[in-house]
Structure 1
Amino acid sequence: MNILVIGATGGSGRAVCDALLERGHTVTALARHASALPARAGLERVDGDATDASALAAVVPGHDAIVVTLGISEPPLRVRLRGAKGTHDDVRSRGTAAIVSAARRAGVRRIVVQSSYGVGDTRSLLRLTDRIMFALLIRPQIIDSEIQEGVLRGSELDWTIVQPVYLTDGDSPDHFTSTDGTIRGHKVARLGVARVHADLVETADRVGQTVSVSG
């Protein structure tokens, strides 16, 4: 398959690219600085902004599926106090809306988007400590993720939302998935989440569903 990964230079995006390449897929990595990624067989690196309609119009056609891992990589406290410096504060919702439009025009139906556990229907399942942290530290990002999920749900594409718990850079591929918000732990390695993304783009399973991922 020919897969487009948008937000490919973040920790999650890199992990998804690796997982897809390991399975023999061809991957196009789109990010503002995608050319900084190491060159690899099967990987095309495209510098571009996920909110730029013209950039998306050029890169989306010809792909079998799209994986979106947009986010803000800057320190959460600084973003909360001053806003994001190098990324649009609403990059998730704004980018996803632009991606959905480009996918519709190009006839690309399969899209898998990474959100966060605790957004939407899983919000009521959060621990009290997590609710406090979300409210104090990352409330704007959570609101943006809620808007992002709404854009996707109304897109009429073959979408799946992936909601991982706290992400780590561990090397364990172990992961547990559910569609009812059930989790096995409160941390999961990006490596495991990336394998979930790869599983989802390879099949039509869980279209129109939200998949919670834990360790």
Structure 2
Amino acid sequence: MRITVIAATGGIGREILNQALAAGHEVTAAVRDPGAVPAPVRTVRVDLARPDRAALEAAVDGADAVLSGLGARTGSDIGVVVRGTRAVIEAMDATGARRLVVVSAAPIGTVPSPRRPHPPRHDPGDGPLIRYLAGPLIKTVLRKRYADLALMEDALAASGLDWTSVRPPRLTDRPVTGDYRTALDRNVRGGTTVSRADVAHLMLRVLDRPETVGHTVGVGN
């Protein structure tokens, strides 16, 4: 399969890149700094903070799937996710690429957005600790980051593409195990952590799961 990895040098993007190569896929890495890509793959220089449509079209042209590990690394990066994802969607529309898998975050189902101004107060997969204590605190601290991700999911829903949004809880740097739980359109009950490597594993795994198209997928250990 021909796969384009957006933000291929980030924490999740790097895992997607390595696992896709290990699985025998033909990979293109779309990155700000091609010199930071350790693997011998085709690279396209793309700065998602200031998207270059021609570069993005070159990156996704001919791809069977586009997997995005795009995320805001610092407070000054907030806004890059929705801006970059919209640019990726436009490039996919222009080139005919259809399958898009992105990484989001577990709390986003309860974050208001223009498409969903009144989301449910609690995710059906969250237990009491997340619902009443940890969840509200985390959403307050990361409010702007989550608003960026909610806008990204709005863009996905309006795109007409075959999209899937993977919503992990707190990320760790543990190695890939493949031993995690998933839930369609809800968070995983009791799944408070998951490794970046396992998120990447799931993002590749859903490519063979048509039932995830147009849906979010919760994941957790």
Is residue 47 of structure 1 aligned with residue 51 of structure 2? Answer: no
Aligned residue for 1:154, secondary structure, equals helix
Q: Is the contact between residue 169 and residue 219 of structure 2 (CA under 8 Å) also seen in structure 1?
A: yes
CA apart distance, 1:34: 3.1
Distance in 2 (CA, whole Å) between partners of 1:120 and 1:61 is 31
* TM-score of the two chains, using structure 1 as the length reference: 0.87
CA apart distance, 1:203: 4.2
CA apart distance, 1:172: 4.4
Q: Is the contact between residue 181 and residue 220 of structure 2 (CA under 8 Å) also seen in structure 1?
A: yes
Distance in 2 (CA, whole Å) between partners of 1:102 and 1:45 is 16
Is residue 97 of structure 1 aligned with residue 86 of structure 2? Answer: yes
Kindly provide the CA deviation profile for residues 18-66 of structure 1, in whole angstroms up to 9, marking residues without a partner as x: 11111110111111113212133xx222221132222212222111110
Alignment match, 1:117 = 106
Gaps of 5+ in 1: none
Q: Quick one: structure 1 residues 58 and 44, their matched pair in 2 at CA, closer, same or farther if it must change by over 3 Å?
A: same
Runs of 4+ in 1 over 4 A off after TM superposition: none
Alignment match, 1:129 = 134
Alignment match, 2:201 = 195
**Superposition map of 1:80-91 within 5 A:** 84=76, 87=77, 89-91=78-80
CA RMSD of aligned residues (A): 1.7
Q: Is the contact between residue 64 and residue 99 of structure 2 (CA under 8 Å) also seen in structure 1?
A: yes
Is residue 146 of structure 1 aligned with residue 150 of structure 2? Answer: yes
Kindly provide the CA deviation profile for residues 116-169 of structure 1, in whole angstroms up to 9, marking residues without a partner as x: 11002586235122321221x211110010000000001011111110111100
Is residue 204 of structure 1 aligned with residue 193 of structure 2? Answer: no
Distance in 1 (CA, whole Å) between partners of 2:139 and 2:23 is 35
Distance in 2 (CA, whole Å) between partners of 1:182 and 1:117 is 6
Alignment match, 1:15 = 15
Gaps of 5+ in 2: 111-119
CA apart distance, 1:180: 3.9
Distance in 1 (CA, whole Å) between partners of 2:139 and 2:163 is 25
* TM-score of the two chains, using structure 2 as the length reference: 0.85
Q: Is the contact between residue 8 and residue 31 of structure 1 (CA under 8 Å) also seen in structure 2?
A: yes
Distance in 2 (CA, whole Å) between partners of 1:167 and 1:123 is 23
Aligned residue for 1:111, secondary structure, equals strand
Alignment match, 2:30 = 30
Q: Is the contact between residue 103 and residue 166 of structure 2 (CA under 8 Å) also seen in structure 1?
A: yes
Distance in 1 (CA, whole Å) between partners of 2:162 and 2:24 is 23
CA apart distance, 1:182: 3.9
The one-letter code of the counterpart of 1:155 is S
The one-letter code of the counterpart of 1:19 is Q
Q: Is the contact between residue 49 and residue 55 of structure 1 (CA under 8 Å) also seen in structure 2?
A: no
The one-letter code of the counterpart of 2:10 is G
Instruction: Count the aligned residue pairs.
Output: 201
